[in-house]
Amino acid sequence: MKNLSISLTPAKCELLDNILNEFDEEVYIKSDRVLKIFRGNGTLASDYLDLLVQMNLVILVGQVDGVPLPAMVGKQAGVDMFISEGGFKRRYALNKLEEDTGKSIFDLKNENLDLKEKLEQQEKLLKNLEQSITEQGKNILNMWLGRIGFLLLGIILTACYFIFLH
């Protein structure tokens, strides 16, 4: 796929995936189903099939000289896995991402794991900080409630002093 990604576009990748998706559960399909994808353009369909043959994804059965398409197209082993992993569109997107970032998918996955780890650490630190602030707030509240209590006690004692002793 790497050497093909230069000439492939998302639209071409979609056409290639459409050919492979046409098989569904079947091993062989008639060429007219492929021709339908290309709106009757047999030459273009033939070019795309040739590419799939080069990649060992399909085989052509009943090919006749002078006729652009064979009678049938058969899928090779591994096509189902290729499609389930995202097919050409996914591989194109991954290659584009690699080109844009200058990093391989492996490097991006490692970087993503590192960032997730840092995020978890930051969330843990934030939670501890929130707990600490809550504890400090409770301590300040208790201290002020104690002061207010002592103030009220002082007022009551002063009132009692003046009432009973004077």
pTM of the model: 0.56
Report the amino acid identity of residue 83.
I
Task: Give a yes or no: residue 118 inside a domain.
Answer: no
How many Å apart are CA 53 and CA 37, to the nearest integer? 17
- The residue written with tokens 């707990």 in the block is 131
Please report whether residue 127 resides in a domain. no
The total domain count for the chain is: 1
Is 41 within the bounds of a domain?
A: yes
Whole-number pLDDT of residue 95: 83
Given this model, what pLDDT does residue 6 score? Answer: 44
**CATH number for the domain that contains residue 47:** 1.10.10.10
Mean pLDDT of the 80-88 span:
90
111 within domain boundaries: no
